[in-house]
Amino acid sequence: MNQNEVLLNVDNLVMHFPIKRGVFQRTVGFVHAVDGVSFDIRKGETLGLVGESGCGKSTTGRTILQLYKPTGGHVYFGKDDLTTLKGEELRILRRKMQMIFQDPYASLNPRMTVEEIVGEPLIVHNLAKGREIRDRVKDLLGLVGLNPAYVDRYPHEFSGGQRQRIGVARALSLNPDLIVCDEPISALDVSIQAQVVNLLEDLQEKFGLTYLFIAHDLSMVRHISDRVAVMYLGVIMELAKRRDLYEHPLHPYTQALLSAVPIPDPIVEETRQRVILTGDVPSPVNPPSGCRFRTRCPIAGQICSEQKPEFRELLPDHRVACHYAERFI
């Protein structure tokens, strides 16, 4: 497999949600959830997307899959621009892109059996009928580490970790190329999180899957990702190979995020410099001018409020949106 072949290219993606008020539901403003995001994902790699809660990570994932119709920008899956496709054309391509949802309790229909949940995509896309569906579901349950005899059980009969495995089996049912993992472990116990991440890694190796792994747990992202994108208030601040980003962050926000991750060595933990951010995250309804991060940035200058920083490549395969990033090289 060519590791450099781009499977997904996101170009200046924008997603604004209108705010409506009054009897006539007039639009009085917009929530700038995603505001000009660009990155690509290569075949067979895992791109981690991290940031604080509410920064637009999950919205980015859902907009890529066209669960939300984007306000602007393009999403190229191979040669196809998903933003221009509708109806049947989009439905056919959807087979190649699947999603694992954050909450295993909310994403499975409590009135459906495991066979109906995992087998539904096969019926929707006319890929199997009757007995074939049951056999395929049993195979998928075995793949994700569940007993194939569980096909007639309902979601309430499973633990959180088992439910998330059912969600993984459903995402795999159509043999997709790309899976968007929307914080797939954040609702699980810590002991179960590692099991689910290991399962995702095993499946990636076995089937050559490509992941967009959305999370706010930086240590877990470090474990699973090849490259990492750091997002803040709807904009990507930094994008680099995992090792480069964790060992040599060039953006003040990335430095602050990484300094909050505890190190399991009491001597290092005691002596290292912590970056404490002041103030709260601004509202996405009225984001700051210029650089989004300037209201909390320890090195912000005059240019930061006047000019939006360009998302530029400062080091090989290491891009950053900061006017003063050179001082960290």
Looking at residue 274, what is its pLDDT?
Answer: 74
Residue 321 is assigned to a structural domain of this protein? yes
Inside any domain, residue 64: yes
**CA 288: distance to chain centroid?**
24
Domain-located, residue 38:
yes
Structural domain containing residue 186: 6-96+176-328
Residues 279-291 as b or e (16 or more Cβ within 10 Å = b): eebbebeebbebb
Q: What is the CATH number of the domain that holds 275?
A: 3.40.50.300
Instruction: Please list the residues that pair with 29 across neighbouring strands.
Output: 19
Structure tokens at 277: 């951010």
CA distance 178 to 10: 14
pLDDT of residue 269: 67
The answer as to whether 116 is a domain residue is no
User: Which residues, including other chains, have CB under 8 Å from residue 300's CB and lie 6 or more apart?
Assistant: 291, 293, 294
CB 312 within 8 A of CB 326: no
Answer yes or no: are the C-beta atoms of 321 and 236 closer than 8 Å.
Answer: yes
Helix (H) or strand (E) holding 46: strand 46-50
pTM (2 d.p.): 0.91
- 154 in any annotated domain: no
The answer as to whether 138 is a domain residue is no
Q: Which residues of the chain have pLDDT under 50?
A: 1
State both tokens at 15. Answer: 């997603």
Overall domain count for the chain: 1
Residue 19 inside a domain? The answer is: yes
Q: Which helix (H) or strand (E) holds 315?
A: strand 312-315
**What distance in Å separates the CA atoms of residue 13 and residue 161, rounded to the nearest whole number?**
33
For residue 122, tell me if it sits in a domain.
Answer: no
Query: For 311, phi and psi rounded to 5 degrees?
Result: -85, 95
**The predicted structure's pLDDT at residue 1:** 47
Q: Around Cβ 176, how many Cβ atoms within 10 Å?
A: 19
